[in-house]
Structure 1
Amino acid sequence: MVMKQFKLWFNVVRPFSLTASIIPVLLGGVIAMREGVFQLSTLALCLVAMTALQISANLISDCDDYLNQVDTKESFGSSGMIVNGSFTPRQALRGGMLFLALGSVLGLLLVYISGLVVLLLGVVGVVSAYFYTRKPFSLKYRGLGAPFVFLMFGPLPVLGAYYIQTQRFSLLALLLSVPIGLLTTAILHANDIRDITSDRKAGIQTFAMEIGIHKASVVYVCFLSISYLAVLLMMVFGTLSIWSAAVFLTLPVAVLDMKSLFSRKLMTLDKQTALLQLLFGGSLVASFMIM
């Protein structure tokens, strides 16, 4: 019984998506480590807090998507655990609020350790996680999902993790947050491209729906291409070492993702893009660890 419940909760939090939180926090941490500052316990707290906020957003989104008829038996979004009857909307919402509380408590601990700047970053994270689908803002349903995801899984966690270690901000951390943020946004964008028809029926707005599938496909390619170009330019100008070239070993994965997109094999494109984000970001993290 316990194992069954664990498996249900494991599936509903969408574990494949959690690289969106893990990679940027680790990246901010290893940038600080390169500068001679590294506190494992503080980084671990930051990692758990950020992941808790993402899980909270996932669960609350599942609840609201079901209640707003965005998720149905005919659609492909979210975890599908409410649609198939494994969870009730109430359970998902309660779980979301529990993880939101966990992230908030850990965030307050980080404020105590690292100062009031972290409070501002934490408030942005908590408010954004809650109002991603909750009224009155419902960011996801108003075509604001992409900029939200870029901010929340790019600059905010990379700079936040770096600041928590060093008590200062870094131009390098900001620059590297861009490709990570773009690849994470590409995960959402892949999901939105796949769901254009069902989202239109549900009466919500997404960026992909507004510009149409052909332009949305070009935007997806741009997200991926700019991510690689950013790393290349930082290497050319000496901002990154030669070890950062490891990210280009992931290019075949990016090419396969783009082939899936243009052949309209969209069912698993979001998960494929999440894998690319993991490999790309993991390569960057590793390059800092061996410098």
Structure 2
Amino acid sequence: MQTPLQPGSSPIARDHGFQKWWQLARPHTLTAAFAPVLLGTALAIEITSIDIFLFLATLLACLIIQAATNMFNEYYDFKRGLDTEESIGIGGAIVRNGIKPATVLGLALGLYGIAILIGIYICMNTTWWLAAIGLVGMLIGYLYTGGPLPIAYTPFGEIFAGFFMGLLIILISFYIQTGSVTTTSILVSIPSFILVGGILLSNNIRDFDGDKEFGRKTLAILVGKKNAVRVLAGMFIVSYAWIFALILTGVSTPWLAVVVLSIPKALTAVKVFKTGKNPLEMMPAMKATAQTNTFFALLLSVGLFISYI
């Protein structure tokens, strides 16, 4: 669910043509699927040569599942009356751009079908155990806003998102290339677990008032808005400290310290959340949180690539 604009705010422009279909996928969220695949593959380079076709298949499947999850979100938030034409942060396909709800649901299910076909190719070249993991991940994507008790309505959204969209994607990408999961791959994945969860927390901080009005019990609502911002700041601190702990203990290459270049985005997110008064003012903070996760994973990948040279 996304919070409506405050009274007196300017209406949000409608999209037209291809743009309204593209916005339905919420493209700004797709980097949350791209970065973990790249990181998992970068971790695998030290162990094996990379199968570029499996890499591309994994990347495409994850992007498609992310887009489909966004469409389920759009559909079910509309069905529950949570989105309006003035809502901030949504694709707006239904309430602003006039796409029929059934079309949005059909597209989401169709994308899941494509992801399954790609998954069959991946399993044929690796192991069929990945099919079970992939199907569970897709189910969680649906249940985030679908089903009788959507995960998004509970305090566990950050945990589910962080695990499935952060840690698990990295480990799956690593396993697809190497046929194994190592202790190092797990340890390097932990910050992505935390930061992807942070994206959901930032969303819930922005939507605090609207979510509270509609009876959601998100983590932000349980701890309060100010404490939620403190929790987000703590998640950033732990993520960076974790990487430096891996470096200092010799688990990972010192080149991973390049992640410090993403710190300004984290600082921006916390600062704007502390000063923002309404959802529109807090949108840059949510964007900065998502960028922190993306840049963090990309910079880790760069550090790994440099260390292999």
TM-score (norm 1): 0.94
Counterpart selection for 1:135 from 131, 147, 152: 147
Cα deviation, 1:119-173, whole Å, max 9, x if unaligned, reads: 2221221111122111134211233211110111122101100111111111111
* Residues 83-92 or 163-172, more deviating: 83-92
- Partners of 1:222 and 1:87 lie apart in 2 by 40
Instruction: Say whether 1:110 aligns with 2:115.
Output: no
Instruction: Say whether 1:285 aligns with 2:301.
Output: yes
Cα deviation, 1:52-95, whole Å, max 9, x if unaligned, reads: 11111000110001111222245424222322134222221111
Call closer, same or farther: CA 1:232–1:39 in 2, change over 3 Å.
Answer: same
For 1:5-20, what aligned pairs fall within 5 Å after superposition?
5-20=17-32
Instruction: Say whether 1:159 aligns with 2:187.
Output: no
Aligned to 2:289: 273
Alpha-carbon shift at residue 117 of structure 1 (Å): 2.4
Q: Which runs of 5+ in 1 are unaligned?
A: none
- Partners of 1:225 and 1:47 lie apart in 2 by 28
Aligned to 2:237: 225
Counterpart selection for 1:97 from 109, 118, 140: 109
Percentage identity across aligned positions?
28
Instruction: Say whether 1:209 aligns with 2:251.
Output: no
SS class of match (1:154): helix
Alpha-carbon shift at residue 200 of structure 1 (Å): 1.8
Counterpart selection for 1:79 from 91, 113, 117: 91
Q: Which runs of 5+ in 2 are unaligned?
A: 1-14
Contact persistence 1:142–1:206 (CA under 8 A): yes
Amino acid at match of 1:290: I
Instruction: Say whether 1:197 aligns with 2:209.
Output: yes
- Partners of 1:73 and 1:205 lie apart in 2 by 24
Contact persistence 1:111–1:118 (CA under 8 A): yes
* Residues 113-122 or 263-272, more deviating: 263-272
- Partners of 1:192 and 1:247 lie apart in 2 by 26
Contact persistence 2:21–2:93 (CA under 8 A): no
RMSD over aligned CA atoms reads 1.6
Contact persistence 2:205–2:220 (CA under 8 A): yes
Aligned to 1:171: 183
Call closer, same or farther: CA 1:87–1:274 in 2, change over 3 Å.
Answer: same
- Partners of 1:236 and 1:41 lie apart in 2 by 35
Aligned to 2:251: 239
For 1:55-70, what aligned pairs fall within 5 Å after superposition?
55-70=67-82
Runs of 4+ in 1 over 6 A off after TM superposition: none
Contact persistence 1:190–1:266 (CA under 8 A): no
Paired positions, count: 289
TM-score (norm 2): 0.89
Amino acid at match of 2:263: L
- Partners of 2:152 and 2:215 lie apart in 1 by 12
Alpha-carbon shift at residue 4 of structure 1 (Å): 4.9
Aligned to 2:11: none
- Partners of 2:185 and 2:81 lie apart in 1 by 39
Counterpart selection for 1:120 from 113, 124, 132: 132
Alpha-carbon shift at residue 36 of structure 1 (Å): 2.6
Is the helix fraction higher in 1 or 2? 1
